[in-house]
Chains A and B, each alone.
Chain A
Amino acid sequence: MRTVIQSAIDILSLGSLYALLALGVALVFGIMRFINFAHGELLMVGGYSLFLARELPFVFMILVCIATVVLTALLFERVAFRPIRGANPATQLVTSFALSFLLQNLAMLTLGPRAKSVGLPTVLTEQFTVGGLRIAKLDILTVVLGVVLMASLGFFLKRSTLGVQMRASAENFEMARLVGVKANTVIASAFAISGLLAASAAIILVAKTGTITPGLGLKPVVIAFVATIMGGLGSLSGAALGGFVLSFLSVTLQTLLPLDLRPFRDAFVFGSVVLIFLLRPQGLIVVRSIKERV
Protein backbone atom coordinates (compact mmCIF):
# COMPACT_ATOMS: atom_id res chain seq x y z
CA MET A 1 0.00 0.00 0.00
CA ARG A 2 2.73 2.39 0.97
CA THR A 3 4.57 1.81 -2.30
CA VAL A 4 1.35 2.36 -4.21
CA ILE A 5 0.77 5.77 -2.62
CA GLN A 6 4.44 6.61 -3.01
CA SER A 7 4.28 5.65 -6.67
CA ALA A 8 1.06 7.62 -7.19
CA ILE A 9 2.77 10.73 -5.87
CA ASP A 10 5.76 10.08 -8.10
CA ILE A 11 3.53 9.57 -11.13
CA LEU A 12 1.60 12.77 -10.49
CA SER A 13 4.71 14.82 -9.89
CA LEU A 14 6.71 13.49 -12.83
CA GLY A 15 3.55 13.57 -14.95
CA SER A 16 3.00 17.25 -14.17
CA LEU A 17 6.53 18.01 -15.31
CA TYR A 18 6.11 15.95 -18.48
CA ALA A 19 2.74 17.53 -19.17
CA LEU A 20 4.24 21.02 -18.92
CA LEU A 21 6.97 19.96 -21.34
CA ALA A 22 4.50 18.44 -23.77
CA LEU A 23 2.11 21.38 -23.61
CA GLY A 24 4.89 23.78 -24.55
CA VAL A 25 5.66 21.79 -27.66
CA ALA A 26 2.01 21.04 -28.50
CA LEU A 27 0.91 24.66 -28.23
CA VAL A 28 3.42 25.79 -30.84
CA PHE A 29 2.71 22.75 -32.97
CA GLY A 30 -1.01 23.48 -32.89
CA ILE A 31 -0.56 26.78 -34.63
CA MET A 32 2.68 26.38 -36.58
CA ARG A 33 2.34 22.68 -37.49
CA PHE A 34 5.92 21.78 -36.73
CA ILE A 35 7.64 20.36 -33.68
CA ASN A 36 10.03 22.84 -32.19
CA PHE A 37 13.01 20.75 -31.12
CA ALA A 38 14.67 23.85 -29.76
CA HIS A 39 12.08 23.79 -26.97
CA GLY A 40 14.67 21.84 -24.96
CA GLU A 41 17.06 24.74 -25.24
CA LEU A 42 14.46 26.99 -23.67
CA LEU A 43 14.86 24.75 -20.62
CA MET A 44 18.62 25.04 -20.88
CA VAL A 45 18.43 28.83 -21.11
CA GLY A 46 16.11 28.75 -18.12
CA GLY A 47 18.59 26.62 -16.20
CA TYR A 48 21.53 28.90 -16.91
CA SER A 49 19.50 32.00 -16.12
CA LEU A 50 18.87 30.48 -12.67
CA PHE A 51 22.60 29.86 -12.36
CA LEU A 52 23.53 33.39 -13.41
CA ALA A 53 20.96 34.86 -11.04
CA ARG A 54 21.98 32.57 -8.18
CA GLU A 55 23.08 35.44 -5.92
CA LEU A 56 19.63 37.03 -6.03
CA PRO A 57 16.79 36.19 -3.66
CA PHE A 58 14.92 33.11 -4.82
CA VAL A 59 11.81 35.00 -5.99
CA PHE A 60 13.97 37.13 -8.27
CA MET A 61 15.76 34.07 -9.59
CA ILE A 62 12.39 32.76 -10.67
CA LEU A 63 11.36 36.06 -12.23
CA VAL A 64 14.68 36.31 -14.09
CA CYS A 65 14.23 32.75 -15.32
CA ILE A 66 10.69 33.34 -16.59
CA ALA A 67 11.57 36.64 -18.25
CA THR A 68 14.68 35.23 -19.92
CA VAL A 69 12.95 32.14 -21.25
CA VAL A 70 9.88 33.98 -22.53
CA LEU A 71 12.09 36.53 -24.28
CA THR A 72 14.22 33.74 -25.75
CA ALA A 73 11.09 32.02 -27.05
CA LEU A 74 9.92 35.26 -28.63
CA LEU A 75 13.38 35.73 -30.12
CA PHE A 76 13.25 32.19 -31.58
CA GLU A 77 10.01 33.10 -33.29
CA ARG A 78 11.12 36.47 -34.56
CA VAL A 79 14.62 35.56 -35.73
CA ALA A 80 14.47 31.89 -36.69
CA PHE A 81 10.90 30.88 -37.44
CA ARG A 82 9.17 33.95 -38.82
CA PRO A 83 11.42 34.18 -41.89
CA ILE A 84 10.58 30.61 -42.83
CA ARG A 85 6.89 30.75 -42.01
CA GLY A 86 4.95 28.98 -44.72
CA ALA A 87 8.05 27.08 -45.87
CA ASN A 88 7.63 23.34 -46.07
CA PRO A 89 7.42 21.53 -42.73
CA ALA A 90 10.78 19.76 -43.24
CA THR A 91 12.54 23.12 -43.50
CA GLN A 92 10.95 24.28 -40.27
CA LEU A 93 11.86 21.05 -38.50
CA VAL A 94 15.47 21.25 -39.64
CA THR A 95 15.62 24.88 -38.58
CA SER A 96 14.51 23.95 -35.10
CA PHE A 97 17.21 21.24 -34.96
CA ALA A 98 19.82 23.70 -36.14
CA LEU A 99 18.73 26.23 -33.55
CA SER A 100 18.92 23.56 -30.88
CA PHE A 101 22.50 22.56 -31.78
CA LEU A 102 23.57 26.16 -32.14
CA LEU A 103 22.38 27.04 -28.65
CA GLN A 104 23.86 23.93 -27.04
CA ASN A 105 27.24 24.71 -28.58
CA LEU A 106 26.97 28.34 -27.67
CA ALA A 107 26.36 27.33 -24.08
CA MET A 108 29.28 24.92 -24.25
CA LEU A 109 31.61 27.66 -25.54
CA THR A 110 30.57 30.43 -23.20
CA LEU A 111 29.76 28.56 -20.02
CA GLY A 112 31.77 25.39 -20.48
CA PRO A 113 30.71 21.76 -20.76
CA ARG A 114 30.91 21.11 -17.02
CA ALA A 115 27.74 21.01 -14.99
CA LYS A 116 26.93 24.11 -12.99
CA SER A 117 25.10 23.79 -9.76
CA VAL A 118 22.60 26.03 -8.11
CA GLY A 119 21.63 25.83 -4.50
CA LEU A 120 17.90 26.24 -4.09
CA PRO A 121 16.08 27.07 -0.85
CA THR A 122 15.72 24.05 1.39
CA VAL A 123 11.94 24.60 1.36
CA LEU A 124 12.04 23.02 -2.05
CA THR A 125 14.32 20.14 -1.33
CA GLU A 126 13.07 19.05 2.08
CA GLN A 127 10.94 16.04 2.73
CA PHE A 128 8.22 15.60 5.29
CA THR A 129 6.62 12.54 6.79
CA VAL A 130 2.93 11.75 6.80
CA GLY A 131 1.67 8.44 8.15
CA GLY A 132 5.03 6.82 7.63
CA LEU A 133 5.29 8.17 4.07
CA ARG A 134 8.23 10.38 3.20
CA ILE A 135 7.10 12.97 0.74
CA ALA A 136 9.34 15.48 -1.01
CA LYS A 137 7.90 18.98 -0.81
CA LEU A 138 9.12 19.49 -4.34
CA ASP A 139 6.79 16.75 -5.57
CA ILE A 140 3.80 18.47 -4.02
CA LEU A 141 4.89 21.85 -5.39
CA THR A 142 5.35 20.34 -8.83
CA VAL A 143 1.85 18.94 -8.85
CA VAL A 144 0.38 22.21 -7.58
CA LEU A 145 2.31 24.21 -10.15
CA GLY A 146 1.28 21.81 -12.90
CA VAL A 147 -2.38 21.95 -11.96
CA VAL A 148 -2.39 25.74 -11.63
CA LEU A 149 -0.63 26.26 -14.96
CA MET A 150 -2.79 23.78 -16.84
CA ALA A 151 -6.00 25.18 -15.38
CA SER A 152 -4.93 28.74 -16.22
CA LEU A 153 -3.99 27.74 -19.73
CA GLY A 154 -7.34 26.02 -20.18
CA PHE A 155 -9.18 29.03 -18.84
CA PHE A 156 -7.19 31.40 -21.02
CA LEU A 157 -7.85 29.38 -24.17
CA LYS A 158 -11.52 28.93 -23.37
CA ARG A 159 -12.43 32.38 -22.17
CA SER A 160 -10.10 35.09 -23.38
CA THR A 161 -10.38 36.72 -26.79
CA LEU A 162 -6.78 35.88 -27.59
CA GLY A 163 -7.37 32.31 -26.45
CA VAL A 164 -10.33 31.89 -28.78
CA GLN A 165 -8.24 33.37 -31.58
CA MET A 166 -5.48 30.87 -30.83
CA ARG A 167 -7.88 27.95 -30.95
CA ALA A 168 -9.34 29.20 -34.20
CA SER A 169 -5.84 29.59 -35.65
CA ALA A 170 -4.91 26.09 -34.57
CA GLU A 171 -7.93 24.75 -36.41
CA ASN A 172 -7.70 26.83 -39.58
CA PHE A 173 -4.97 29.43 -39.67
CA GLU A 174 -5.89 30.93 -43.02
CA MET A 175 -9.54 31.35 -42.10
CA ALA A 176 -8.55 32.91 -38.80
CA ARG A 177 -6.60 35.54 -40.71
CA LEU A 178 -9.58 36.02 -43.00
CA VAL A 179 -11.70 37.13 -40.06
CA GLY A 180 -8.94 39.52 -39.05
CA VAL A 181 -6.92 37.54 -36.51
CA LYS A 182 -3.36 38.86 -36.61
CA ALA A 183 -1.01 36.04 -37.52
CA ASN A 184 2.00 37.58 -35.79
CA THR A 185 0.16 38.22 -32.54
CA VAL A 186 -1.21 34.70 -32.30
CA ILE A 187 2.10 33.04 -33.15
CA ALA A 188 4.11 35.24 -30.81
CA SER A 189 1.61 34.48 -28.04
CA ALA A 190 1.97 30.76 -28.61
CA PHE A 191 5.76 31.06 -28.31
CA ALA A 192 5.50 33.29 -25.24
CA ILE A 193 3.23 30.81 -23.46
CA SER A 194 5.42 27.91 -24.48
CA GLY A 195 8.31 29.91 -22.98
CA LEU A 196 6.40 30.34 -19.73
CA LEU A 197 5.75 26.60 -19.60
CA ALA A 198 9.41 25.87 -20.38
CA ALA A 199 10.57 28.22 -17.63
CA SER A 200 8.35 26.44 -15.11
CA ALA A 201 9.65 23.07 -16.25
CA ALA A 202 13.23 24.34 -16.04
CA ILE A 203 12.73 25.51 -12.46
CA ILE A 204 11.29 22.13 -11.45
CA LEU A 205 14.03 20.27 -13.27
CA VAL A 206 16.84 22.29 -11.72
CA ALA A 207 15.24 21.99 -8.30
CA LYS A 208 15.11 18.21 -8.78
CA THR A 209 18.68 17.72 -9.99
CA GLY A 210 20.48 20.83 -8.81
CA THR A 211 22.69 20.83 -11.92
CA ILE A 212 22.71 22.59 -15.26
CA THR A 213 24.48 21.41 -18.40
CA PRO A 214 24.35 22.40 -22.07
CA GLY A 215 22.46 19.16 -22.76
CA LEU A 216 19.86 19.86 -20.09
CA GLY A 217 17.01 20.03 -22.58
CA LEU A 218 17.79 16.89 -24.57
CA LYS A 219 15.85 14.28 -22.69
CA PRO A 220 12.96 16.59 -21.81
CA VAL A 221 12.40 17.52 -25.44
CA VAL A 222 12.30 13.87 -26.45
CA ILE A 223 9.73 13.26 -23.73
CA ALA A 224 7.71 16.28 -24.85
CA PHE A 225 7.92 15.09 -28.43
CA VAL A 226 6.76 11.54 -27.62
CA ALA A 227 4.00 12.75 -25.29
CA THR A 228 2.74 15.23 -27.89
CA ILE A 229 2.59 12.60 -30.61
CA MET A 230 1.11 10.06 -28.25
CA GLY A 231 -1.60 12.58 -27.37
CA GLY A 232 -2.52 12.80 -31.05
CA LEU A 233 -0.58 15.81 -32.34
CA GLY A 234 -2.64 18.93 -32.15
CA SER A 235 -4.64 18.14 -29.05
CA LEU A 236 -3.47 19.98 -25.96
CA SER A 237 -5.32 17.76 -23.51
CA GLY A 238 -3.91 14.81 -25.45
CA ALA A 239 -0.38 16.12 -24.99
CA ALA A 240 -0.89 16.57 -21.26
CA LEU A 241 -2.39 13.10 -21.04
CA GLY A 242 0.58 11.76 -23.01
CA GLY A 243 2.87 13.29 -20.39
CA PHE A 244 1.03 11.51 -17.60
CA VAL A 245 1.02 8.20 -19.48
CA LEU A 246 4.79 8.45 -19.96
CA SER A 247 5.28 9.21 -16.31
CA PHE A 248 2.99 6.32 -15.35
CA LEU A 249 5.01 3.91 -17.51
CA SER A 250 8.27 5.27 -16.21
CA VAL A 251 7.39 5.07 -12.51
CA THR A 252 5.58 1.74 -12.76
CA LEU A 253 8.39 0.07 -14.66
CA GLN A 254 10.87 1.49 -12.18
CA THR A 255 9.05 -0.34 -9.35
CA LEU A 256 8.04 -3.48 -11.21
CA LEU A 257 11.13 -4.27 -13.28
CA PRO A 258 13.60 -6.74 -11.74
CA LEU A 259 16.61 -4.92 -10.32
CA ASP A 260 19.01 -5.98 -13.05
CA LEU A 261 16.71 -4.59 -15.75
CA ARG A 262 16.07 -1.23 -14.12
CA PRO A 263 18.99 0.52 -15.81
CA PHE A 264 17.17 -0.18 -19.07
CA ARG A 265 13.90 1.28 -17.85
CA ASP A 266 13.74 3.94 -20.55
CA ALA A 267 14.06 1.27 -23.22
CA PHE A 268 11.01 -0.41 -21.73
CA VAL A 269 9.14 2.90 -21.45
CA PHE A 270 9.65 3.75 -25.10
CA GLY A 271 9.02 0.12 -26.05
CA SER A 272 5.60 0.43 -24.41
CA VAL A 273 5.07 3.66 -26.30
CA VAL A 274 5.67 1.79 -29.54
CA LEU A 275 3.05 -0.72 -28.41
CA ILE A 276 0.58 2.08 -27.72
CA PHE A 277 1.18 3.43 -31.21
CA LEU A 278 0.57 0.00 -32.69
CA LEU A 279 -2.76 -0.18 -30.90
CA ARG A 280 -3.74 3.45 -31.46
CA PRO A 281 -1.85 4.85 -34.44
CA GLN A 282 -3.84 8.11 -34.25
CA GLY A 283 -2.67 8.81 -30.75
CA LEU A 284 -4.73 8.78 -27.58
CA ILE A 285 -7.00 11.61 -28.59
CA VAL A 286 -8.04 11.88 -32.21
CA VAL A 287 -8.18 15.40 -33.56
CA ARG A 288 -10.69 15.85 -36.33
CA SER A 289 -9.45 19.02 -37.83
CA ILE A 290 -5.75 18.81 -38.48
CA LYS A 291 -5.52 20.53 -41.81
CA GLU A 292 -2.40 20.65 -43.90
CA ARG A 293 -0.93 24.12 -44.14
CA VAL A 294 -0.58 25.33 -47.69
Chain B
Amino acid sequence: MLSLTGIFVNYGHVAAVRGVSLEVNEGEVVGLIGPNGAGKTTLLSAIAGVIRPERGDIQLLGETLLGKAPEKIVPMGISLVPEGREIFGTLTVEENLRLGATIRRRDPEVAGDIESMMERFPILGKYRGTHAGALSGGEQQQLAIARALLANPKLLLLDEPSLGLAPKLVDQVFDIVGQLKEDGVTVLLVEQNARRTLEFADRTYVLRSGEIRLSGTKKELSSMDNADFEHAFLGFHRGERQGESR
Protein backbone atom coordinates (compact mmCIF):
# COMPACT_ATOMS: atom_id res chain seq x y z
CA MET B 1 0.00 0.00 0.00
CA LEU B 2 2.73 2.45 1.03
CA SER B 3 6.21 2.00 -0.33
CA LEU B 4 9.31 4.07 0.25
CA THR B 5 12.33 3.49 -1.94
CA GLY B 6 15.76 4.93 -1.26
CA ILE B 7 14.56 7.99 0.64
CA PHE B 8 17.14 10.63 1.59
CA VAL B 9 16.22 13.71 3.63
CA ASN B 10 18.61 16.48 4.66
CA TYR B 11 18.23 19.45 6.94
CA GLY B 12 20.86 21.76 5.56
CA HIS B 13 24.01 19.76 6.03
CA VAL B 14 22.48 17.24 8.42
CA ALA B 15 21.56 14.00 6.68
CA ALA B 16 18.58 12.90 8.75
CA VAL B 17 17.40 10.01 6.58
CA ARG B 18 19.83 8.08 4.39
CA GLY B 19 18.44 5.68 1.84
CA VAL B 20 15.44 4.25 3.62
CA SER B 21 13.21 1.78 1.86
CA LEU B 22 10.19 0.32 3.55
CA GLU B 23 6.84 -1.19 2.80
CA VAL B 24 3.49 -1.14 4.54
CA ASN B 25 0.85 -3.57 3.32
CA GLU B 26 -2.88 -3.17 3.59
CA GLY B 27 -4.27 -4.11 7.01
CA GLU B 28 -0.87 -4.31 8.67
CA VAL B 29 0.39 -2.57 11.76
CA VAL B 30 4.01 -1.79 11.00
CA GLY B 31 6.32 -0.59 13.76
CA LEU B 32 9.16 1.86 13.22
CA ILE B 33 11.45 2.05 16.22
CA GLY B 34 14.80 3.59 16.93
CA PRO B 35 16.60 5.85 19.35
CA ASN B 36 16.06 9.59 19.64
CA GLY B 37 17.28 11.42 16.56
CA ALA B 38 17.16 8.31 14.37
CA GLY B 39 15.04 10.08 11.76
CA LYS B 40 11.63 8.57 12.53
CA THR B 41 9.73 11.86 12.67
CA THR B 42 11.57 13.08 9.58
CA LEU B 43 10.45 10.00 7.69
CA LEU B 44 6.80 10.48 8.66
CA SER B 45 7.03 14.17 7.75
CA ALA B 46 8.32 13.19 4.33
CA ILE B 47 5.41 10.78 3.83
CA ALA B 48 2.88 13.40 4.94
CA GLY B 49 4.36 15.98 2.56
CA VAL B 50 5.74 18.36 5.15
CA ILE B 51 9.34 17.80 4.06
CA ARG B 52 10.53 17.06 0.56
CA PRO B 53 13.04 14.23 0.24
CA GLU B 54 16.31 14.86 -1.58
CA ARG B 55 16.10 11.55 -3.39
CA GLY B 56 13.94 8.47 -3.55
CA ASP B 57 10.26 7.85 -4.10
CA ILE B 58 7.21 7.51 -1.89
CA GLN B 59 4.15 5.84 -3.33
CA LEU B 60 0.68 5.20 -2.00
CA LEU B 61 -1.20 2.54 -3.95
CA GLY B 62 1.12 3.07 -6.89
CA GLU B 63 0.79 6.85 -6.97
CA THR B 64 3.75 9.03 -6.03
CA LEU B 65 3.38 11.45 -3.14
CA LEU B 66 6.48 13.44 -4.01
CA GLY B 67 5.94 17.13 -4.60
CA LYS B 68 2.42 17.01 -3.20
CA ALA B 69 1.41 19.46 -0.48
CA PRO B 70 0.20 18.00 2.83
CA GLU B 71 -3.38 19.08 2.08
CA LYS B 72 -3.22 17.10 -1.19
CA ILE B 73 -1.93 13.99 0.53
CA VAL B 74 -4.67 13.80 3.18
CA PRO B 75 -7.40 13.25 0.57
CA MET B 76 -5.30 10.45 -0.93
CA GLY B 77 -5.81 8.57 2.32
CA ILE B 78 -2.99 9.36 4.72
CA SER B 79 -3.51 10.95 8.15
CA LEU B 80 -0.75 11.86 10.55
CA VAL B 81 -0.95 11.95 14.32
CA PRO B 82 2.15 14.04 14.85
CA GLU B 83 4.72 13.90 17.59
CA GLY B 84 3.56 16.13 20.43
CA ARG B 85 -0.08 15.67 19.31
CA GLU B 86 -0.41 19.23 17.94
CA ILE B 87 -4.08 19.56 18.74
CA PHE B 88 -5.53 23.04 18.20
CA GLY B 89 -5.44 24.23 21.81
CA THR B 90 -7.37 27.47 21.30
CA LEU B 91 -10.21 25.64 19.56
CA THR B 92 -12.83 23.48 21.22
CA VAL B 93 -12.66 19.70 21.19
CA GLU B 94 -15.58 19.63 18.79
CA GLU B 95 -13.94 22.13 16.44
CA ASN B 96 -10.80 19.98 16.45
CA LEU B 97 -12.90 17.00 15.43
CA ARG B 98 -14.67 19.00 12.72
CA LEU B 99 -11.26 19.97 11.36
CA GLY B 100 -10.34 16.31 11.24
CA ALA B 101 -13.10 15.87 8.67
CA THR B 102 -11.94 18.84 6.57
CA ILE B 103 -11.48 16.79 3.41
CA ARG B 104 -14.97 15.31 3.66
CA ARG B 105 -16.79 18.43 2.56
CA ARG B 106 -20.45 17.81 1.81
CA ASP B 107 -20.25 14.33 3.28
CA PRO B 108 -23.54 14.01 5.19
CA GLU B 109 -22.06 11.34 7.46
CA VAL B 110 -19.53 13.65 9.08
CA ALA B 111 -21.82 14.82 11.88
CA GLY B 112 -22.73 11.24 12.77
CA ASP B 113 -19.09 10.16 12.65
CA ILE B 114 -18.14 12.95 15.05
CA GLU B 115 -20.84 11.75 17.43
CA SER B 116 -19.65 8.15 17.25
CA MET B 117 -16.08 9.31 17.79
CA MET B 118 -17.32 10.95 20.99
CA GLU B 119 -18.88 7.67 22.05
CA ARG B 120 -15.70 5.80 21.27
CA PHE B 121 -13.65 8.32 23.26
CA PRO B 122 -16.14 9.39 25.94
CA ILE B 123 -13.79 12.02 27.33
CA LEU B 124 -14.09 13.91 24.04
CA GLY B 125 -17.86 13.90 24.30
CA LYS B 126 -17.69 15.10 27.86
CA TYR B 127 -15.44 18.03 26.97
CA ARG B 128 -16.78 18.77 23.48
CA GLY B 129 -17.20 22.50 24.15
CA THR B 130 -13.98 22.90 26.11
CA HIS B 131 -10.80 24.40 24.72
CA ALA B 132 -8.64 21.47 23.69
CA GLY B 133 -5.61 23.08 25.32
CA ALA B 134 -7.20 22.42 28.70
CA LEU B 135 -7.18 18.63 28.19
CA SER B 136 -4.57 16.42 29.83
CA GLY B 137 -1.83 14.76 27.78
CA GLY B 138 -3.68 11.45 27.49
CA GLU B 139 -6.91 13.19 26.53
CA GLN B 140 -5.11 15.26 23.92
CA GLN B 141 -3.64 12.09 22.46
CA GLN B 142 -7.12 10.61 22.11
CA LEU B 143 -8.26 13.82 20.45
CA ALA B 144 -5.31 13.77 18.05
CA ILE B 145 -6.09 10.17 17.05
CA ALA B 146 -9.81 10.84 16.75
CA ARG B 147 -9.10 13.93 14.63
CA ALA B 148 -6.90 11.91 12.29
CA LEU B 149 -9.46 9.09 12.02
CA LEU B 150 -12.24 11.48 11.00
CA ALA B 151 -10.53 11.87 7.62
CA ASN B 152 -11.32 8.17 7.08
CA PRO B 153 -7.69 7.43 6.24
CA LYS B 154 -6.51 4.29 4.50
CA LEU B 155 -3.23 4.65 6.34
CA LEU B 156 -2.68 6.16 9.75
CA LEU B 157 0.76 7.46 10.71
CA LEU B 158 1.29 7.60 14.47
CA ASP B 159 4.35 9.40 15.80
CA GLU B 160 5.19 8.32 19.35
CA PRO B 161 1.61 8.32 20.63
CA SER B 162 2.74 7.09 24.05
CA LEU B 163 5.38 9.77 24.54
CA GLY B 164 5.07 11.53 27.89
CA LEU B 165 2.08 9.49 29.04
CA ALA B 166 1.74 7.67 32.35
CA PRO B 167 2.05 3.85 32.04
CA LYS B 168 -1.68 3.35 32.37
CA LEU B 169 -2.33 5.77 29.55
CA VAL B 170 0.33 4.08 27.43
CA ASP B 171 -1.70 0.87 27.79
CA GLN B 172 -4.75 2.77 26.72
CA VAL B 173 -3.02 4.10 23.61
CA PHE B 174 -1.88 0.63 22.61
CA ASP B 175 -5.43 -0.62 23.19
CA ILE B 176 -6.72 2.05 20.85
CA VAL B 177 -4.23 1.10 18.16
CA GLY B 178 -5.15 -2.57 18.64
CA GLN B 179 -8.77 -1.62 18.11
CA LEU B 180 -7.88 0.23 14.93
CA LYS B 181 -6.12 -2.86 13.64
CA GLU B 182 -9.24 -4.92 14.27
CA ASP B 183 -11.23 -2.32 12.36
CA GLY B 184 -8.89 -2.92 9.44
CA VAL B 185 -7.03 0.41 9.54
CA THR B 186 -3.47 0.18 8.25
CA VAL B 187 -1.03 1.73 10.72
CA LEU B 188 2.58 2.86 10.63
CA LEU B 189 3.49 3.20 14.29
CA VAL B 190 6.59 5.11 15.35
CA GLU B 191 7.68 4.37 18.89
CA GLN B 192 10.61 4.52 21.22
CA ASN B 193 8.97 1.86 23.33
CA ALA B 194 10.87 -0.88 21.44
CA ARG B 195 9.90 -4.10 23.25
CA ARG B 196 6.27 -3.23 23.36
CA THR B 197 6.15 -2.29 19.69
CA LEU B 198 7.89 -5.51 18.66
CA GLU B 199 5.26 -7.55 20.46
CA PHE B 200 2.46 -5.46 19.09
CA ALA B 201 3.23 -4.79 15.42
CA ASP B 202 2.96 -7.35 12.61
CA ARG B 203 6.33 -6.22 11.32
CA THR B 204 8.89 -3.78 12.65
CA TYR B 205 11.73 -1.75 11.20
CA VAL B 206 14.61 -0.54 13.32
CA LEU B 207 15.95 2.85 12.26
CA ARG B 208 19.21 4.29 13.55
CA SER B 209 21.20 7.27 12.27
CA GLY B 210 18.84 7.59 9.34
CA GLU B 211 19.23 4.02 8.10
CA ILE B 212 17.21 0.84 8.50
CA ARG B 213 19.37 -1.49 10.60
CA LEU B 214 16.99 -4.37 11.03
CA SER B 215 13.55 -5.44 10.00
CA GLY B 216 11.38 -8.45 10.34
CA THR B 217 8.08 -9.92 11.37
CA LYS B 218 7.00 -10.16 14.98
CA LYS B 219 8.10 -13.81 14.99
CA GLU B 220 11.51 -13.21 13.48
CA LEU B 221 12.36 -10.34 15.77
CA SER B 222 11.09 -11.90 18.97
CA SER B 223 13.16 -15.03 18.38
CA MET B 224 16.23 -12.90 17.89
CA ASP B 225 19.08 -12.85 20.33
CA ASN B 226 18.70 -9.99 22.77
CA ALA B 227 22.24 -8.75 22.34
CA ASP B 228 21.98 -8.71 18.56
CA PHE B 229 18.79 -6.71 18.75
CA GLU B 230 20.31 -4.20 21.09
CA HIS B 231 23.24 -3.85 18.78
CA ALA B 232 20.97 -3.01 15.88
CA PHE B 233 18.98 -0.58 17.97
CA LEU B 234 21.77 1.16 19.83
CA GLY B 235 24.71 0.64 17.49
CA PHE B 236 26.83 -0.92 20.19
CA HIS B 237 26.68 -3.79 22.64
CA ARG B 238 25.86 -2.96 26.18
CA GLY B 239 29.11 -3.10 28.08
CA GLU B 240 31.05 -1.71 25.15
CA ARG B 241 32.23 1.67 26.28
CA GLN B 242 32.32 3.78 23.20
CA GLY B 243 29.03 3.84 21.37
CA GLU B 244 28.66 5.23 17.91
CA SER B 245 26.72 8.42 18.18
CA ARG B 246 24.71 9.49 15.19
Which residues on A are within 8 Å of B, measured CB to CB? 161, 164-165, 167-168, 171-172, 174-183, 288-289
- Which residue in A165, A175, A180 is a CB contact (below 8 Å) of B86? A175
- Which residue in A168, A183, A288 is a CB contact (below 8 Å) of B69? A183
A142 to B102, CA, bound (A): 37
- B99 contact set on A, CB distance < 8 A: 164-165, 168, 176, 179, 181
A174 to B88, CA, bound (A): 11
**Known contacts A165-B102, A176-B99; is A181 also within 8 Å of B71 by CB?**
yes
- B36 contact set on A, CB distance < 8 A: none
- Which residue in B89, B90, B151 is a CB contact (below 8 Å) of A180? B151
A181 to B86, CA, bound (A): 15
- A288 contact set on B, CB distance < 8 A: 89-90, 133
- B102 contact set on A, CB distance < 8 A: 165, 179-181
B38 interface residue per 8 A CB criterion: no
Interface flags for B55-94 (1: CB within 8 Å of A; 0: not) read 0000000000000011100110001101000101111000
Min CB–CB distance B186 → chain A (angstroms): 18
A182 to B105, CA, bound (A): 12
Task: Decide: A168 and B70 in contact? CB cutoff 8 A.
Answer: no
- A172 contact set on B, CB distance < 8 A: 86, 88
**Known contacts A175-B86, A175-B88; is A164 also within 8 Å of B98 by CB?**
yes
Q: Chain B: interface residue count, which band?
A: 20 to 34
- A289 contact set on B, CB distance < 8 A: 89-90, 133
What number of A-B contacts does a CB cutoff of 8 Å give?
68
Which of chain A's residues has its CB closest to B103's CB?
A180
Which of chain B's residues has its CB closest to A164's CB?
B95
Min CB–CB distance B202 → chain A (angstroms): 25
B161 interface residue per 8 A CB criterion: no
- B100 contact set on A, CB distance < 8 A: 179
- A177 contact set on B, CB distance < 8 A: 69-71
B154 interface residue per 8 A CB criterion: no
Min CB–CB distance A278 → chain B (angstroms): 28
Task: Decide: B88 and A180 in contact? CB cutoff 8 A.
Answer: no
Min CB–CB distance B168 → chain A (angstroms): 27
Min CB–CB distance A208 → chain B (angstroms): 36
Which residues on B are within 8 Å of A, measured CB to CB? 48, 50, 69-71, 74-75, 79-80, 82, 86, 88-91, 95, 98-100, 102-103, 105, 133, 147-148, 151
**Known contacts A164-B99, A181-B99, A181-B102; is A174 also within 8 Å of B91 by CB?**
no
The 6 closest A-B pairs by CB, nearest first: A180-B74, A180-B103, A180-B102, A177-B70, A175-B86, A177-B71
Question: Could you name 25 residue pairs across A and B whose Cβ atoms are closer than 8 Å?
Answer: A161-B105, A167-B88, A167-B90, A171-B89, A172-B86, A175-B82, A175-B86, A175-B88, A177-B69, A177-B70, A178-B50, A178-B70, A179-B74, A179-B147, A179-B148, A179-B151, A180-B71, A180-B75, A180-B102, A180-B151, A181-B71, A181-B99, A288-B89, A288-B133, A289-B89
Task: Decide: B90 and A174 in contact? CB cutoff 8 A.
Answer: no
**Known contacts A179-B147, A180-B102; is A168 also within 8 Å of B91 by CB?**
yes
Min CB–CB distance B46 → chain A (angstroms): 13
Min CB–CB distance B134 → chain A (angstroms): 11
- A178 contact set on B, CB distance < 8 A: 48, 50, 70-71, 74, 80, 82, 86
Min CB–CB distance B86 → chain A (angstroms): 4
Min CB–CB distance A93 → chain B (angstroms): 23
- A174 contact set on B, CB distance < 8 A: 50, 70
- A164 contact set on B, CB distance < 8 A: 91, 95, 98-99
A49 to B91, CA, bound (A): 39
Which of chain A's residues has its CB closest to B98's CB?
A164
A62 to B89, CA, bound (A): 39
- B79 contact set on A, CB distance < 8 A: 179
A115 to B88, CA, bound (A): 48
Given known contacts A168-B91, A174-B50, what 6 new A-B pairs fall within 8 Å (CB)? Answer: A168-B95, A171-B90, A175-B82, A176-B88, A179-B100, A288-B89
- B91 contact set on A, CB distance < 8 A: 164, 167-168, 171
Min CB–CB distance A293 → chain B (angstroms): 13
A43 to B187, CA, bound (A): 52
- B105 contact set on A, CB distance < 8 A: 161
A168 to B71, CA, bound (A): 14
Min CB–CB distance A156 → chain B (angstroms): 14
- B103 contact set on A, CB distance < 8 A: 179-180
- A175 contact set on B, CB distance < 8 A: 82, 86, 88
Min CB–CB distance A171 → chain B (angstroms): 5
- A181 contact set on B, CB distance < 8 A: 71, 99, 102
- B69 contact set on A, CB distance < 8 A: 177, 183
Min CB–CB distance B1 → chain A (angstroms): 19
- Which residue in B70, B71, B88 is a CB contact (below 8 Å) of A171? B88
A171 to B74, CA, bound (A): 20
A159 to B179, CA, bound (A): 33
Min CB–CB distance B8 → chain A (angstroms): 20
